[in-house]
Amino acid sequence: MAIVKNLGRTLSQLLQSPGCGCQTSIVPVRCIGVSPRQVTSDASFHSVSFSETDHPRVLITGGLGQLGVGLAKLLRKRFGKNNVILSDIRKPPDDVFYNGPFIYSDILDYKNLREIVVNNRITWLFHYSALLSAVGEANVPLARAVNITGLHNILDIAAEHSLRLFVPSTIGAFGPTSPRNPTPDLCIQRPRTIYGVSKVHAELMGEYYHYRYGLDFRCLRYPGIISADSQPGGGTTDYAVQIFHDAIKNGKFQCNLKSDTRLPMMYIDDCLKATLDVMEAPAASLSMRTYNISAMSFSPEELVQEVKKHIPELQVTYNVDAVRQAIADSWPMNFDDSNARRDWGWKHDFDLSELVTTMFNILGSDSRVAQIN
C-alpha cells in the first residue's frame, strides 16, 4: 500500500507541475493548461457509440454554417449516421440536432477540442470554423483569434492524433496582384482582407505540417458557393443567391456589382462532392496539398439573362457598392483547376443553366408551400 500511495503522490505532482517534461517527438506537443470550458471524460454527448467499421470517424467544426450541415448529410449517407459528428459553439435547430450526433466544440479551447477527438476516436476532421470577409473586417482581433489561433489548435491536434485534415480556402486568398484570368494553383496571392490573409496562412501552415510532421492535410480553394438552403449574408458573391429570392418574391432585383463583373461560382452540391472526392483520393495521387476547384464563371448580366428564361418580367437595376466592387475586382475571374481534374478526377455536374433551374425548382416549391400555408 505504501508503494501505491507513493506512486499516486508522484503522479499527482507530475500532473500539477507547470512544466511539460515531454520528450522530443515528431509531432508538435503542447502543455495543456486549465480551461474554463472542459469536457470531462464521462461527458454524455447527444450521440451514439460508433460501430466497429472501417469507415472514418468524422468531426466537422463550425458545422452550422453554409456548408457544414450539407456536408454532414452527405458523409452520413456514405459512412453512417453515427460516424459523423457535427459541432459548433451555437445551439443547433431541432432538425439538425435530431438528425445525427451534435456536440459543443470551441476551437479556441484546446483541451475541449482535444478531448472530443480522443473520446470519439476521430480520424477525419473538417475545419469549417472561421469568420468570413465582412465580419472579419469589422472585428479583426476576433478574426485573427478564430481564423489563425483556432487553426493552430486544429493543426496541432490533427498532427498529434494522425488525423486526415481538411481546411477550406477561398477565392479571397488571392489579391489584386494575382493573375485573374485564369488564376493558377501557384501564383502570387497577397490578399487585402484579414479573411484572405488567414486563408493563405492556413494553406502554408497546412503544407508545412504535411512536410514537417507528415500531417495528411488537404485543402480546396472554393469559388463563390450558391445554395438554396442559406440566406444571403452580404458577401461579395451573394448577389448570385439574392437574385433568386428577389425574383420569386417581387420580380425585381438590384445588383451591387457591375454587370460585367465575372467571378468563379459553384453550386453547393458540386462543392460538397469535390470536398469528399479530395478527402477520399489516395495520397499518392496528390501532387499538391491545396487545389483550385471551379465549375463555372459568369457575370451578373449573364446570370440575369439565364434567370429571365424562367421569369421574363424580372426587372433589374444596378447600384454598385464601391467596397464590394473593389473586392470583386481583386478576385479571380476564372479558376484554373486543371490540376484537380488531372490528379484526382475532379469533374463538376452543374453548369449555369442547370444551376438556375435547380435553384428555381427548390425556392419556387418552398415559396408555393409558404403561400398555401
pLDDT tens-place string over residues 105-120: 999 999 999 999 999 9
pLDDT of residue 135: 80
Alpha carbons 328 and 56: distance in angstroms, whole number: 38
State CA 117 to chain mean position distance. Answer: 18
Higher-pLDDT residue of 217, 6: 217
pLDDT of residue 233: 62
pLDDT of residue 318: 97
Q: Which of 13-17, 287-291, 357-361 has the lowest mean pLDDT?
A: 13-17
State CA 110 to chain mean position distance. Answer: 19
pLDDT of residue 234: 62
pLDDT of residue 134: 73
pLDDT of residue 327: 86
Q: Which residues have a Cβ under 8 Å from the Cβ of 42 and sit 6 or more positions away?
A: none
Query: What is the residue whose three cell numbers read 514537417?
Result: 212
pLDDT of residue 54: 81
Strand partners, 216: 164
One-letter amino acid at 299 equals S
Extended strands (E) in the chain: 58-61, 84-88, 102-104, 124-127, 164-166, 169-170, 216-222, 224-226, 252-255, 263-267, 290-292, 296-298, 315-318
pLDDT of residue 118: 98
State CA 306 to chain mean position distance. Answer: 29
The Cα angle at residue 263 between residues 286 and 303, in degrees rounded to 5 = 125
**φ, ψ of residue 79 in degrees (nearest 5):** -115, -5
Higher-pLDDT residue of 326, 216: 216
The Cα angle at residue 346 between residues 331 and 130, in degrees rounded to 5 = 45
Helices (H) then strands (E): counts for the chain: 14, 13
pLDDT single digits (tens) 202-253: 999 999 999 999 999 999 999 999 998 877 666 788 899 999 999 999 999 9
Alpha carbons 166 and 289: distance in angstroms, whole number: 10
Alpha carbons 143 and 147: distance in angstroms, whole number: 6
Is residue 34 pLDDT above 50, yes or no? no
Residue burial 250-282, b: 16+ Cβ < 10 Å; e: rest = eeebebbbeeebbbbbbbbbbbbbbbbbbbebe
pLDDT level of residue 365 (50, 70, 90 thresholds) = low
pLDDT single digits (tens) 153-206: 999 999 999 999 999 999 999 999 999 999 999 999 999 889 999 999 999 999
Active site residue 195: yes
pLDDT of residue 93: 94
One-letter amino acid at 45 equals F
Beta strand 263-267 with 296-298 is: antiparallel
Active-site residue identified among 104, 110, 128, 195: 195
Is residue 3 pLDDT above 60, yes or no? no
Is residue 369 pLDDT above 80, yes or no? no
pLDDT of residue 187: 97
**Rg for the chain, CA atoms, rounded:** 23
pLDDT level of residue 13 (50, 70, 90 thresholds) = very low
> What is the side-by-side strand order in the sheet with 296-298?
224-226, 263-267, 296-298
Are residues 168 and 222 in contact, defined by beta-carbon separation less than 8 angstroms? yes
Mean pLDDT over 46-69 rounds to 76
Are residues 61 and 129 in contact, defined by beta-carbon separation less than 8 angstroms? yes
Count of Cβ atoms closer than 10 Å to residue 209 Cβ = 21
